Amino acid sequence: MAPGKKKKKKGLAWRAQLIMIFVLLAAIAAMPTTVLLCIGMLPTLVAWFIDRTKERTRALTVGAMNAAGCTPFILQLWMSSNTLQNSLMIITDPRTVIVMYCAAGVGYLIDWAISGLVGSVMVQRATSRRDQIAKRKAALAERWGPEVTGDIPLDQYGFPIDESARNDRPAPKKTRN
């Protein structure tokens, strides 16, 4: 191993492990809220595993909307008795789950709409760029001749091949080095 280089450690760094321990302790301390969020944020977990992009924009969009759908019920839990029994009572109400999951569905719709919009804008820009290149190519061909278009076949030396005189010319001799 070269001097000054460290081996990469396998697994999580000690800081990440420490953060995970604190998150686990906080989840246990706030068990009613944790239960409500674990059930309510399932669509975000699904979006996280489905989204294979590096940026995970779908998971972010769905997660934000899903968290917005969970917020009123978390506040309801905190304003009433913050117990596990009350949390389970809120979760077992079908309207609660419908609101949470529909909010996540809105996140999917936003992701779908924005992806379509961005795709359309990119296609329009590419089409515009293609047209600009075609105009520039025509202007160059007009100024310098059709040889600059790349549409004329060239010989081995890079000179245009005249199709009418092609059959009259003898083939170039091959030389040995």
Please say if the pLDDT value at position 170 is more than 60: no
Q: With CA atoms as reference, report the closest residue to 61 among 47, 42, 73.
A: 47
Report pLDDT for 6.
Answer: 60
* Chain segment 93-104, per-residue pLDDT in tens: 999 999 999 999
pTM, two decimals, is: 0.67
Residue type, 12: L
Task: Please check whether residue 27 is in contact with residue 34, taking contact to mean a CB–CB distance below 8 angstroms.
Answer: yes
CB contact set of 55 (below 8 Å; sequence gap of 6+): none
Report pLDDT for 108.
Answer: 95
User: 66: helix, coil or strand?
Assistant: helix
Which range has the worst mean pLDDT, 2-16, 50-64, 66-80, 134-148? Answer: 2-16
End-to-end CA distance of the chain: 48
Taking phi over 0 as left and psi of -120 to 50 as alpha, with beta for the rest, 158 belongs to left
DSSP 25-39: HHHHHTHHHHHHHHH
Highest mean pLDDT among 48-52, 145-149, 151-155, 170-174: 48-52
Please say if the pLDDT value at position 167 is more than 70: no
Domain boundaries, given as residue ranges, for the chain: 21-111
